[in-house]
Amino acid sequence: MKNLLRFLKNYKKESILAPLFKFLEAVFELIVPLIVKDIVDVGVANADKVRIATDCGILVLLAAVGLLSAVTAQYFAAKAATGFSAELKSSLFSRLQSLSYREIDKIGTATMITRMTSDCNQVQNGVNMVLRLFLRSPVVVFGALIMAFIVDVKSGILFAIAIPLLALIVFGITRLTVPLYKKSQNKLDEVTLSVKENLAGARVLRAFHKEADEEELFLRRNRAYTKNQTFVSNLSAIMNPATYVVINLAIVALLYTGGVQVQSGSLTQGDVISLYNYMSQILVELIKFSNLIVTITKTIACGNRLDAMLNMQNSLTRIEDDAVYNTDAVAFENVCFRYEGAGANALENINFTARKGEVVGVIGGTGSGKSSLVNLIPHFYDATAGRVTVNGRDVQSLSDEELIKRIGVVPQRAVLFRGSIRDNLKWGNEDATDEQIFRALQIAQALDVVESKGGLDGEIEQGGRNLSGGQKQRLTIARALVKQPEILILDDSASALDFATDYKLRKALKEISATVFIVSQRTSSLQGADKIVVLDDCRQVGLGTHEELLKSCDVYREIYHSQFKGEEKYE
């Protein structure tokens, strides 16, 4: 948690002024019982109306100055806390963007969302509360203790006994609740995961009539979160009544001993009233402080989770290697790949090359490793064994900037962002002209999509909700083409297109100079490829043209014959 304090470095002034003004407010508050004592012992006792009016005027002045100090402190605390939160979220988002697919798979989307929202908000609230109360409450408590000893030493001993007991209660409960709040936030991750999955897969759930099952899963996770949160909240709630008991017992003892001393003449009525006021101040401040401790407890738990994510490093291997191993656009040399935690390899002994300008098809059954293979080219994952090269250089020796500049990727899931069509298409090249954009749209067979939306300034809703699956796929292909990549990867990104549009797209792709990788389940989509890589059970079982594979590869022939009757063939 302490590592997060670096985000306050730009708010040092606010972080000092907020507690300082709260300190001033506390000092003014400690003076109030002395003024009240003077009113009782001097003004009321002597029927001195001028003294009473003067003291009342001082009380009003102290209240006004205290209010001004409190408002000023709140302003600086809020400014520091919101600035701290903004920089923390910015740094956290940058860290998430820098992580490899491996870390993202490991963390999970639900956890990242919870930490970016709930955890950050909790830490922001904690910083705000600390700046406002962490100095004020101890000042009032120990200031009241000192003032009690000044008024009467015997009564001050009661204060000296009560305060350690209260501290024991507060810090004892805090010690118990810190790990429980951390567990509670982990439970919240699971609830967030259910919400995310149900929102993303709403149509699938309805199609399979699984609403009741998902509702039961959500309720089970929510009940677990509620049970843990209720337990830790109940444990924290003990703090208030426990402190009340100690303080009120101390007040009873104070009134009893004070009454006896007033009768004996060793104390005045004003002294007892001021002592009572100091004890009441301690009660109020310790209640505030106990609530602050609860907030700090949550803040520490959330802060530790955020700190762990900020310290997470990209696990992709980087090497210093300027050697050029071949002249091919892409080459796989005895490549094996395994996902973290998996029991077996996702790819086994992959060997093939793709020359510049070639169209390479990748086909295989579900789970055969097609996406895993093409994800190794832009270095989204590290190969477990072997070497993947781009333009003869090991991908591990190339920076992300070099790979991004050379490679365009169209993933399986077509993702578009809210904004205009032009804004979405210029992601790959911010300086792209309208002429370049229309050229990419023409190749991607997406000109009709743009026309239907009123041109390049037509709006796309969040996630492309106002587009069909095929329209989204064509626009994502156009987005990759706008950057004019040397290597274009289409990871089953034309699955929603009809056969005629798919044929026109493949024909247009042959006109570009890039090396094109097409991952597809359709043999018709790959018939014109210069070479086709056939995968089965994570192994490479065939490599060649369509005609060669029909003669030599049983797996490819089986896939082809299972589809041929249901497809129109385009040459």
400-456 pLDDT, tens digit per residue, is 888 988 999 998 888 899 999 999 999 878 889 999 999 999 999 999 999 998 889
Q: What gap in Å lies between CA 17 and CA 199, rounded to an integer?
A: 45
- Of 25-39, 258-272, 349-363, the range with the lowest mean pLDDT is 258-272
- pLDDT higher than 90, residue 249: no
- pLDDT higher than 50, residue 568: no
Over range 351-358, report the average pLDDT: 93
pLDDT at residue 1 in the model: 67
pLDDT at residue 5 in the model: 85
Q: Please state, for a pLDDT cut of 70, what percent of the chain lies above it.
A: 99
Over range 162-173, report the average pLDDT: 80
Residues with Cβ within 8 Å of 450's Cβ and at least 6 positions away in sequence, in order, are 421, 441, 456, 458
- Domain coordinates in residue numbering, the chain: 2-310, 330-369+380-564
- pLDDT higher than 70, residue 570: no
The confidence band for 15, taking pLDDT boundaries of 50, 70 and 90, is: very high
Over range 67-77, report the average pLDDT: 93
- In CATH terms, the superfamily for domain 2-310 is ABC transporter type 1, transmembrane domain (1.20.1560.10)
Q: 310-336: buried (b, 16+ CB within 10 Å) or exposed (e) per residue?
A: beeeeebeeeeeeeeeeebbbbbbebe
- The model carries a pTM of 0.71
94-126 pLDDT, tens digit per residue, is 988 888 888 888 887 778 888 888 889 999 999
pLDDT higher for 15 or 246? 15
The confidence band for 571, taking pLDDT boundaries of 50, 70 and 90, is: very low
Q: Please state, for a pLDDT cut of 90, what percent of the chain lies above it.
A: 37
- Bridge partners, residue 355, by sequence: none
Task: Write down the mean pLDDT value for the chain.
Answer: 87
Closest CA to 516 of 546, 493, 542, 496: 493
Report the length, in residues, of the chain.
571
pLDDT at residue 569 in the model: 44
Q: What gap in Å lies between CA 508 and CA 27, rounded to an integer?
A: 79
The confidence band for 219, taking pLDDT boundaries of 50, 70 and 90, is: very high
- Fill in the amino acid letter for 511: E
- pLDDT higher than 90, residue 391: yes
pLDDT at residue 565 in the model: 61
CATH of domain 330-369+380-564: 3.40.50.300
| Contact (Cβ atoms closer than 8 angstroms) between residue 166 and residue 247 | yes
Closest CA to 70 of 18, 140, 35, 129: 18
pLDDT higher for 156 or 332? 332
453-494 pLDDT, tens digit per residue, is 888 999 999 888 888 888 999 999 999 999 999 999 999 888
The confidence band for 53, taking pLDDT boundaries of 50, 70 and 90, is: very high
| Contact (Cβ atoms closer than 8 angstroms) between residue 211 and residue 170 | no
495-537 pLDDT, tens digit per residue, is 888 888 888 998 898 888 899 999 998 888 898 899 999 999 8
